């Protein structure tokens, strides 16, 4: 990891933006979010790597483990994970290759294939979950109350962008 800078580069950029372009509040917030995303991604990737998982594959295992029957149609997985069908297929292909999920025919709809988590998939998910929770998913430096506030604020942005209706 790089050594910390002796100043906050985002605050400095915001001041320059303010001086040369105009109000910098949104630019500074977005730049901060993007940097924090990098920090979180690095931490989570590091925690999941020993388990042979990416965050997308881990998320798919969690989704399946949380589902009522430990299986879902690929279309539903895509909707819940907010991914393109091609991405879901790629994720499922990789998980299936490792024996963490399997494709099974839908019991009542021959057009639909279900993805079902295997016992190995459950075990891997449990182990990976321990790793990511030990590092708080890389989101450090906040209190529980601040984390809840952050989640609330980000949820407002996601809702305004059309991620969900509620």
Q: Which pLDDT tens digit goes with each residue over 24-83? A: 999 999 999 999 999 999 999 999 999 999 999 999 999 999 999 999 999 999 999 999
Of all residues in the chain, what percent carry a pLDDT higher than 90?
93
User: Which pTM was predicted?
Assistant: 0.89
Q: Which domain holds residue 44?
A: 8-51
The answer on pLDDT for 2 being more than 80 is no
Q: DSSP letters along the chain, please?
A: -PPPPSS-HHHHHHHHHHHHTS--HHHHHHHHHHHHHHHHHHHHHHHHGGGT--HHHHHHHHHHHHSTTSEEEHHHHHHHHT--HHHHHHHHHHHHHTTSEEEEE-SS-TT-EEEEE-HHHHHHHHHHHHHHHHTGGG--S--HHHHHHHHHHHHHHHHHTTS---
Q: Which has more confidence, 1 or 16?
A: 16
Looking at the fold, whether 45 and 82 belong to one and the same domain comes out as no
Q: Which has more confidence, 66 or 2?
A: 66
The CATH number of residue 107's host domain is 1.10.10.10
């Amino acid at each position: 990891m790089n050594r910390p800078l002796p100043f906050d580069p985002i605050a400095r950029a915001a001041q320059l933006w303010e001086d040369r372009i105009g109000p910098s509040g949104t630019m500074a917030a977005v730049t901060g979010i993007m940097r924090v995303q990098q920090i979180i991604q690095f931490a989570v990737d590091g925690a999941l790597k020993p388990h042979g998982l990416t965050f997308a594959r881990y998320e798919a295992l969690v989704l399946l483990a949380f589902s009522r029957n430990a299986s879902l149609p690929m279309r539903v997985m895509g909707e819940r994970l907010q991914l393109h069908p091609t991405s879901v297929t790629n994720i499922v292909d990789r998980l299936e290759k490792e024996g963490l999920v399997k494709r099974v025919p839908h019991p009542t709809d021959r057009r639909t294939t279900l993805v079902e988590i295997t016992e190995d998939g459950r075990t891997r998910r449990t182990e990976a979950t321990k790793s990511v929770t030990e590092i708080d998913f890389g989101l450090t430096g906040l209190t529980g109350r601040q984390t809840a506030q952050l989640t609330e604020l980000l949820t407002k942005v996601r809702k305004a962008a059309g991620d969900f209706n509620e």
